[in-house]
């Protein structure tokens, strides 16, 4: 499963965390706005208390207030603003005209309102709380006042202002609606800005990927772009790794070149001594010497040019297969192997014949080595590929080893001589042509190698 990109991860994390951040911000702003509204409400109600105190008079221990005030809402029924004055026994002694609708409820309820409004009168104490009258929410502001009477004693009164919360609630709703609209728009804008910042910030990585593709395609050997300091450290290390790999590949190429070049002289000696054997032996030795010479030439060409691209040449597959089969039948004549070839006439190989001989030679040699008596080679065109199947009636290859056997140096049978290189060389050549090599079970009972090459 492919992991999501860095940009998508960061963008997803921001998108998930942003609602939490905006939610906490919205809650804090809403709470601050409500606190400021309540503070303004308390200040406004306190000014109404001072208005009542300025109009109140004490005559013979009786507190009187006028019928009309500068604040007209005290005289209007259902205005949402009412005033109440009670004595130290919590008895109502005056109620504004606007509170007549709530008179019975005010007489029944104790002076101690919900939210712990203290009923004990204390000179100069103010309280601000909430309550309900007739199912409607109200703010309550109380102020305890002490009046000196003629005999030197004091008399306590409580001035209470009730104000309906409808305006407060409407302002809070409007503020919340506008706040969340702005926060939502800000969230969308922040996500968009985050996406743009990520694209700009990760742009050097896209350039790095393009440089790596140039190296993969052979257009460049080093990362040459200018990168930020953080990425530059990575590119410098990659360039160092690439340089070491190039140097190591060069050493391998030189070693192969030296090996192939060193074998040319012994081959020349073998070819010069062919006349001292029988004609049949001369023919066999000559064919193998020619093949070895072709292989060495091919390896030298690869070492020098490093070019494995297919050449524009078409070769008859059946002819090459028969040549290889005839040579292998002579090598394994003691086993009396039956080699069956069934190749469609329209099968052809578009590339270097030496590559096909090397691939088929390695696979057929394995089949001849491990078979009991029969080896078969079938080839046909399927879709856009030529498919060749090499099977035998040998013991086969265990399923656990079928993938490892195609790797360089891996062998399924250590009792036989070999280095485990032939199949890996075949895989390398086939991959160079854009093909594939798979391992299956043959209908003869042994292993079957399936070679697919673009037709």
Which of 389, 387, 378 has the alpha carbon at shortest distance from 440? 389
pLDDT tens string 322-358 = 888 888 888 888 889 999 999 998 888 888 888 888 8
Write down the pLDDT at residue 298. Answer: 64
Element (H, E) at 400: none
Higher pLDDT, 378 or 269: 378
Write down the pLDDT at residue 398. Answer: 83
Would you say residue 66 has pLDDT above 80?
yes
**What's the rounded mean pLDDT across residues 218-225?**
77
pLDDT-derived band at 420 (thresholds 50, 70, 90) equals low
pLDDT tens string 298-324 = 666 655 544 444 455 667 888 888 888
Mean pLDDT lowest for which of 132-146, 173-187, 395-409, 437-451?
395-409
**What's the rounded mean pLDDT across residues 288-301?**
67
Write down the pLDDT at residue 306. Answer: 47
pLDDT-derived band at 414 (thresholds 50, 70, 90) equals very low
Would you say residue 65 has pLDDT above 50?
yes
Higher pLDDT, 118 or 384: 384
Average pLDDT, the chain: 81
**What's the rounded mean pLDDT across residues 88-117?**
73
Write down the pLDDT at residue 304. Answer: 52
Mean pLDDT lowest for which of 67-71, 140-144, 174-178, 358-362?
67-71
How far apart, in Å, are the Cα atoms of 288 and each of 274, 293, 324, 330, 404? 12, 8, 10, 11, 30
104: left (phi over 0), alpha (psi -120 to 50) or beta: alpha
pLDDT-derived band at 168 (thresholds 50, 70, 90) equals very high
pLDDT-derived band at 112 (thresholds 50, 70, 90) equals very low
Write down the pLDDT at residue 300. Answer: 61
Residues 393, 361, 298: CA angle, nearest 5 degrees? 165
Strands (E), 73-125: 81-87, 92-95
To which residue do tokens 């066999």 refer? 284
**What's the rounded mean pLDDT across residues 129-141?**
90
pLDDT tens string 368-377 = 998 999 999 9
For residue 346, which phi and psi values (nearest 5 degrees)? Answer: -90, 5
**Exposed, middle or buried by CB within 10 Å (0-12, 13-18, 19+), for 269?**
exposed
Write down the pLDDT at residue 452. Answer: 92
Write down the pLDDT at residue 362. Answer: 87
Are the C-beta atoms of residues 285 and 274 closer than 8 Å to each other? yes
- Tell me the H-state helices in 113-228: 166-201, 203-217
Write down the pLDDT at residue 377. Answer: 94
Write down the pLDDT at residue 114. Answer: 45
Complete domains list, the chain, with CATH: 24-171 (3.30.450), 312-454 (3.30.565.10)
Q: What percent of the chain has pLDDT over 90?
A: 25
For residue 25, which phi and psi values (nearest 5 degrees)? Answer: -65, -45
Higher pLDDT, 53 or 315: 53
pLDDT tens string 260-290 = 655 665 666 566 666 665 666 666 666 667 7
pTM: 0.47
pLDDT tens string 9-23 = 777 888 888 888 888
Write down the pLDDT at residue 233. Answer: 80
Higher pLDDT, 61 or 389: 389
Cα 225 from Cα 211, distance rounded (Å): 7
Strand partners of residue 379: 343, 388
The pair of structure tokens assigned to 297 is 């030439």
Q: What percent of the chain has pLDDT over 70?
A: 80
Cα 139 from Cα 161, distance rounded (Å): 8
Write down the pLDDT at residue 417. Answer: 45
**What's the rounded mean pLDDT across residues 135-160?**
86
């Amino acid at each position: 499963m492919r992991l999501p990109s860095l940009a998508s991860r960061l963008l997803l994390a921001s998108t998930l965390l942003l609602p939490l951040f905006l939610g906490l911000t919205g809650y804090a702003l809403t709470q601050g706005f409500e606190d400021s509204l309540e503070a303004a409400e308390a200040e406004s109600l306190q000014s109404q208390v001072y208005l009542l105190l300025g109009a109140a008079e004490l005559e013979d221990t009786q507190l009187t207030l006028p019928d009309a005030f500068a604040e007209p809402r005290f005289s209007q029924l259902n205005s949402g603003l009412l005033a109440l004055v009670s004595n130290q026994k919590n008895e109502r002694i005056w109620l504004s005209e606007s509170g007549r609708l709530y008179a019975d409820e005010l007489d029944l309820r104790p002076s101690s309102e919900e939210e712990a409004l203290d009923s004990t009168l204390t000179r100069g104490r103010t309280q601000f709380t909430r309550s309900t009258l007739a199912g409607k929410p109200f703010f309550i502001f109380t102020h305890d006042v002490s009046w000196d009477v003629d005999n030197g004693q004091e008399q306590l009164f409580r001035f209470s202002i009730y104000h309906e919360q409808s305006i407060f609630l409407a302002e809070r709703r409007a503020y919340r609606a506008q706040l969340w609209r702005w926060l939502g728009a800000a969230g969308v804008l922040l996500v968009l800005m985050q996406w743009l910042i990520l694209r700009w910030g990760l742009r050097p990585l896209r350039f790095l990927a393009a440089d790596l593709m140039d190296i993969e395609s052979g257009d460049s050997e080093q990362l040459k772009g200018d990168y930020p300091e953080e990425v530059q450290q990575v590119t410098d290390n990659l360039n160092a790794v690439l340089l070491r790999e190039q140097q190591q590949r060069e050493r391998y190429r030189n070693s192969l070149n030296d090996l192939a070049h060193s074998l040319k002289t012994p081959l020349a000696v073998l070819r010069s001594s062919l006349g001292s054997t029988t004609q049949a032996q001369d023919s066999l030795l000559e064919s193998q010497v020619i093949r070895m010479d072709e292989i060495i030439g091919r390896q030298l060409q690869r070492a020098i040019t490093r070019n494995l691209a297919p050449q524009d040449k078409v070769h008859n597959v059946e002819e090459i297969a028969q040549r290889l089969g005839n040579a292998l039948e002579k090598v394994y004549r003691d086993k009396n192997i039956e080699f069956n070839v069934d190749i469609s006439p329209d099968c052809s190989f578009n590339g270097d014949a030496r590559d096909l001989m090397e691939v088929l030679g390695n696979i057929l040699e394995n089949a001849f080595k491990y078979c009991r008596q029969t080896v078969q080679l079938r080839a046909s065109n399927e879709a856009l590929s030529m498919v060749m199947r090499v099977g035998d009636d040998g013991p086969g290859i265990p399923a656990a080893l079928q993938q490892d056997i195609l790797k360089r140096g891996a062998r399924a049978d250590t009792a036989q001589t070999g280095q485990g290189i032939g199949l890996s060389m075949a895989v390398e050549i086939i991959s160079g042509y854009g093909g594939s090599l798979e391992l299956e079970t043959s209908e003869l009972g042994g292993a079957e190698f399936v070679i697919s090459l673009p037709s």
